[in-house]
Copies of this chain bind each other. A is one copy, B any other.
Amino acid sequence: MARKTKAEAALTRDRIVTCARQVFSREGVTNTSLETVAKEAGVTRGAVYWHFRDKADLFMAVRQQTGTLLRFDDFRTGDALERLEAGLQAALDRLRTDRQALETYEVMLWKCEYVGAFASVRQDLMSASSLFLTEVTEFYGEAVRMKLVSANLDPALAARETLCFYAGLLKLWLADENGVTVRAEVRQLITQHVAGRRLQKAV
């Protein structure tokens, strides 16, 4: 086979990752054979095994390609609660508009078994959760200091509640293709979740 240039090879690798994501989201991670991914990408398993050690390695590449949904540090305006809400809204917006992100999270939340080599990914997700807690606890701490919320709100506990809300929202949003449970009203849901903490709720 004619050797490809470095740039071409990078494109090939990227195509493999992209196709892997699509096949994973259609057939589930465990059920997809690397043969299927290769065919979809217009290469043979040889190419896949040259770029990735095994399916787990490929899966990591899929995750890395889309990166993380939630990035609070993109939002620097408004009070703590507004920035928190903006971050959450942006995450769900991305799911709505970015097909790649949607597929990746569909795979991670519904089409993957966290066993064997994938058990470590679950640990990753839990580490991400801890990070989420740290950041959101900060937000609520600031909210307390600024008297945006009740003085006896426990920031750490509130952050944990928000974490649960967010985790469940992501999972349900993905499964709710017809919009019967949460998809139709995500925006309101998020708004309400953080507004619910604010002092003097209307009336």
Contact = CB atoms under 8 A, between A and B. Distances in A.
A185 B164 CA distance: 12
Interface stretch (A2-10, A59-67, A71-79, A106-114): A106-114
> Helix, strand, loop or mixed for chain A's interface?
helix
A69 B26 CA distance: 29
A29 interface: yes
B165 A115 contact: no
A44 interface: no
Interface in A147-191: 150-152, 154, 157-158, 160-161, 163-169, 171-172, 175-176, 180-182, 185, 188-189
* Chain copies in the assembled complex: 2
Nearest to A115: B28
A197 interface: yes
A151 B176 CA distance: 29
A127 to B, nearest CB: 10
A203 B200 CA distance: 12
